A and B are shown apart, each in its own frame.
Chain A
Amino acid sequence: MKKLFLLLFTMMKIGLFTFGGGYAMISLLENEFVSKRKWLDAEEFLDMVAIAESTPGPIAINGATYIGYRVARLPGAIFGTVGVVTPSFVIIYLISLFFRRFLSVAWVASAFRGIQVAVVFLIFAAALRLFKKLSKTPFTLTVFIAVTLAAVALSLFAIRFSSVWFVLIGAALGLFAYLFALLHHDKGDGEQKQAEDGGEGGAP
C-alpha cells in the first residue's frame, strides 16, 4: 500500500514537471525509477520505451502504465497512470474555465493570432523531425508521399475522410508488403530487414 502511494506521488511529480510531451517524460521516468529507486533495470526500461513507441496513445501514458504494472501489477498500473495525468488535468481544467473570457480581451486575442502561427510552425517542425527519423525505403517513401498528397487533396476538395483510415491503410499496406516479401522469398529478404529496422515514431 505504501508503495502504491509512493508510486502515485512520484508519477504526480513527474506529470507536474514535464513540459513538451513524451520524450521529455522518458528522461524523468528513467531518472526516478531506474537511477534513483531502482524499481526497474535499464534493459526493462528500454523495453518500456520500445512498447511506448510502437503502441497507440501518448508515450507518457504507456510509460506510466508499464512502470506501474511492473512495480505493483494492475493496481500499480492504475495508480501510476492516474498519478501522471492528474496534475495536468487539474491545470487544464482550471484554464478552460476562463479561457474564452481571457480570449475576449483585445490584446490577448492579438497575441493568440501570433501564437497560432507558432503552433502551425511547431507542427511543421515536428513533421520534419519525424521524417528525418523515418527509415527511408521505396515502400515507406511511397506511403509517405501518397498519404500527404491524398490528405491535402481531400481537404481542398472538402471531402470528409478521417485520418484514422489513413493510419489503418498504412498498417494494411505494411502487412501486405511483408507478406508479399515472404512469398517472394529470395527477393524479399532485403525488404524484410528494412522493415525491421523501421524508424522511430514519436514527438518531442
Chain B
Amino acid sequence: MIYLRLFLTFLKIGAVAFGGGYAMIPLMRDECLANGWLSDAELLDFIAVSESTPGPVAVNMATFVGSSQAGILGALLATLGVILPAFIVTVLLVAALGKLLSYRGTRAILSGVRPAVVALILSAAAIMFLSLFVGIGKFGDAATFSLPSVLLFGFLVLVSWLYRRIRGKSISPIFLILLSGVAGVILFR
C-alpha cells in the first residue's frame, strides 16, 4: 500500500539523516529510485523547487514526493514520517536525557557518522553529474557528453567563486537557480 510505504520510507530517511537538508539528499535519492518514484532529473527539479520555497528542504521534498505519488494524504504521511524521528528524539532529549549528548560514546558515534554523511553527499553529486551530464549511469556506458550542461556547470563554479572573492560570502542558492533557469532557456531551446 502506497500510503504505508511513503510513511515508512520517509520515517527511515528522517531517522538516519544527520546534519540537515543536504544530508538527506543521498538517502532520499536511493529510496526514490528504488521505489521507482522519481528519476534523477525529476529529483533535481524537486530539489530546486524545495530550495526556492520557504521551509526545510527535507520537509519540502517529503511533501513534494508524497503529493506526486499519492495526493494530499500521501503528502501528509510522507511529511509526518520525515519529521517524526526528529520530534521524538528531541522530546526525549529535553525531557529526560539531556546529558546523553555529552557522553563520550555519543560523540564517538557522531565522529564516524559525520565523515560518512559528507562522503555520501559528495558521491551523490558525483553520481548525478556522471549520469545526467556525461551519460555514464553504470560501468561500461559510453560517455555522451551534454556539452551545454558541462559548460553551464563550469560557468556556475566561476560565478560563485568570483562572488565569494568579491563579496566575501557565499552566493545565494536561489540566485544560482534563477541564473541557471535563464541559461537553460537559452542553451536547451
Where the two chains meet, the residues of A that have a C-beta atom closer than 8 Å to any C-beta of B are 15-23, 25, 47, 50-62, 65-66, 69-70, 74, 77, 81, 84-85, 87-89, 91-93, 95-97, 99-100, 103, 107, 109-131, 134-135, 137, 139-141, 143-148, 151-152, 155-158, 160, 162-164, 166-175, 177-179, 192, 194-196, 198-204
**Least CB separation from B173: chain A residue:** A122
B8: Cβ under 8 A from any A Cβ: no
**Least CB separation from A126: chain B residue:** B22
Complex CA–CA separation, A65 to B86 (angstroms)? 8
Residues from 85 to 139 in B contacting A, C-beta threshold 8 Å: 85-87, 89-91, 93-95, 98, 101, 104-130, 132-133, 136, 138-139
Interface residue tally for chain B (C-beta within 8 Å): 110
The answer to whether A107 and B189 touch across the interface, beta carbons within 8 angstroms, is: yes
The answer to whether A69 and B95 touch across the interface, beta carbons within 8 angstroms, is: yes
Where the two chains meet, the residues of B that have a C-beta atom closer than 8 Å to any C-beta of A are 12, 14-27, 29-31, 34, 41, 44-45, 47-60, 63-64, 67-68, 72, 75, 79, 82-83, 85-87, 89-91, 93-95, 98, 101, 104-130, 132-133, 136, 138-139, 149, 152-153, 156-157, 160, 170, 172-174, 176-177, 179-185, 187-189
Query: Which residues of A have CB within 8 Å of B57?
Result: 21, 58, 203
The answer to whether B90 and A55 touch across the interface, beta carbons within 8 angstroms, is: yes
Identify which of B12, B67, B138 contacts A92 (C-beta below 8 A): B67
CB distance from B41 to the nearest CB of A (A): 6
The answer to whether A93 and B75 touch across the interface, beta carbons within 8 angstroms, is: yes
The answer to whether A88 and B120 touch across the interface, beta carbons within 8 angstroms, is: no
Complex CA–CA separation, A67 to B138 (angstroms)? 46
Complex CA–CA separation, A136 to B60 (angstroms)? 32
The answer to whether B188 and A110 touch across the interface, beta carbons within 8 angstroms, is: yes
Cβ-closest 7 pairs across A and B: A114-B184, A174-B112, A88-B55, A57-B86, A201-B19, A170-B116, A178-B108
* Subset of 21 A-B contacts with CB under 8 Å: A52-B90, A57-B82, A57-B85, A66-B94, A85-B79, A89-B75, A93-B75, A112-B45, A114-B182, A114-B187, A115-B45, A119-B44, A120-B153, A127-B125, A144-B116, A164-B12, A168-B16, A178-B109, A192-B104, A201-B113, A203-B22
The answer to whether B108 and A204 touch across the interface, beta carbons within 8 angstroms, is: no
Query: Which residues of B have CB within 8 Å of A117?
Result: 133, 149, 152-153, 156, 180, 184
Query: Which residues of B have CB within 8 Å of A140?
Result: 111-112, 114-115
CB distance from B155 to the nearest CB of A (A): 9
**Given A22-B21, A170-B116, A112 contacting B55 (CB threshold 8 A):** no
Number of interchain pairs (Cβ within 8 Å): 410
**Least CB separation from A169: chain B residue:** B116
Query: Which residues of A have CB within 8 Å of B51?
Result: 20-21, 119, 122
CB distance from B99 to the nearest CB of A (A): 11
Query: Which residues of B have CB within 8 Å of A124?
Result: 122, 125-126, 129
Of the listed residues B24, B83, B113, the one surrounded by the most CB atoms of chain A closer than 10 A to its CB is B113
Complex CA–CA separation, A17 to B56 (angstroms)? 11
**Least CB separation from A109: chain B residue:** B188
Query: Which residues of A have CB within 8 Å of B15?
Result: 56-57
Query: Which residues of A have CB within 8 Å of B16?
Result: 56, 164, 167-168
The answer to whether A92 and B49 touch across the interface, beta carbons within 8 angstroms, is: yes
**Least CB separation from B128: chain A residue:** A120
The answer to whether B110 and A54 touch across the interface, beta carbons within 8 angstroms, is: yes
Complex CA–CA separation, A132 to B56 (angstroms)? 23
The answer to whether A17 and B54 touch across the interface, beta carbons within 8 angstroms, is: yes
The answer to whether A20 and B41 touch across the interface, beta carbons within 8 angstroms, is: no
Of the listed residues A85, A100, A119, A129, the one surrounded by the most CB atoms of chain B closer than 10 A to its CB is A119
